[in-house]
Amino acid sequence: MTVPVLMYHAIGSGSSGSQQYDDADFVVSEENFTAQLGYLRDNGFVACRLDELTDFQASDKRRIVISFDDGHASDVGIALPLLEKFGFTAEFFFTTDWIGKPSYVDEDGIRALHRAGMGVGSHGVSHQFFNDFTFEQARQEIERSTMQLADIVGSAVDRFSAPGGRLPDRLAELVELCNLNYICTSEIDTCNENNYPLAVPRIAIRCDTSISLFEKIVNADPTYYRRHQLRKSALVLLRRMLGNQRYMDIRESLLELRR
């Protein structure tokens, strides 16, 4: 049994979105998000936290994990009431430098998510990519962010999602030093015994993810996953050749052209 893990960012209020984001591609409208949750409920899916995903052999339930990166204000303003309405739990990863900034969640919001039974995790301090860090910088980013979040919610924070999906070197040592139990990546795959809990792959849900594409993603359609794995490998190779900064500059120019 494999479990798809979805990665969301901001949920837009209304059809056009009401907030300012760096990457509009990743803002899913409230209408689409509601339709996606409705699809999951109507098709018998149970959305759960990472720590609730234990027995991969259990085949009686169709499980899914919903996650949110960056800590946008819509986590609390839009996603939380909808998740509660549908009876789902989810994982929220916060970039701690952005907590309380305009259009981002504040400390009260993080506490509200935690109280509602949602997972709270780190998405770094600064959102810089971890493969650009030295080992010590990576350790400090994880330690500072998990400790700050633990102070806010009043219990240990043991999960991390890598900004841009870029993992640091010597990950096993960091896991040990920083007491991490769950790590989310942006690899394209479903979650299974081989990658759970320290290399959990996730599929990005974007502004243009149609309900028919969403259906393929959550039903683990092998054609979808294979095609996107190939595309991702090509992009990762390109990124290695160019370096993170140059890759992001080129990506930004391409996105500008499309707008």
Binding residues (CB under 5 A) for Zn ion: these are 69-70, 163
Which residue's Cβ lies closest to Zn ion? 69
Given a contact cutoff of 8 angstroms between Cβ atoms, the answer to whether 104 and 97 are in contact is no
**Of 12 and 163, CB closest to Zn ion:** 163
**Of 109 and 163, CB closest to Zn ion:** 163
> Which tokens belong to 22?
């760096």
**What is the nearest approach in angstroms of Zn ion to the Cβ of residue 139?**
19
Given a contact cutoff of 8 angstroms between Cβ atoms, the answer to whether 6 and 66 are in contact is yes
Q: Give the C-alpha separation, 19 to 128, whole Å.
A: 22
**What is the nearest approach in angstroms of Zn ion to the Cβ of residue 70?**
5
User: How many CB atoms within 10 Å of residue 145?
Assistant: 25
**What is the nearest approach in angstroms of Zn ion to the Cβ of residue 109?**
17
**Of 163 and 201, CB closest to Zn ion:** 163
**Of 26 and 45, CB closest to Zn ion:** 26
**What is the nearest approach in angstroms of Zn ion to the Cβ of residue 7?**
9
- Give Cβ neighbours of residue 88 (< 8 Å, ≥ 6 apart): 37, 40, 46, 47, 48, 66
Q: Give the C-alpha separation, 225 to 128, whole Å.
A: 27
Q: Give the C-alpha separation, 94 to 40, whole Å.
A: 25
**What is the nearest approach in angstroms of Zn ion to the Cβ of residue 203?**
15
**Of 30 and 70, CB closest to Zn ion:** 70
**What is the nearest approach in angstroms of Zn ion to the Cβ of residue 247?**
15
Given a contact cutoff of 8 angstroms between Cβ atoms, the answer to whether 142 and 50 are in contact is no
**Of 32 and 95, CB closest to Zn ion:** 95
Residue 168, preceding bond cis, omega within 30 degrees? no
End-to-end alpha carbon distance in the chain:
40
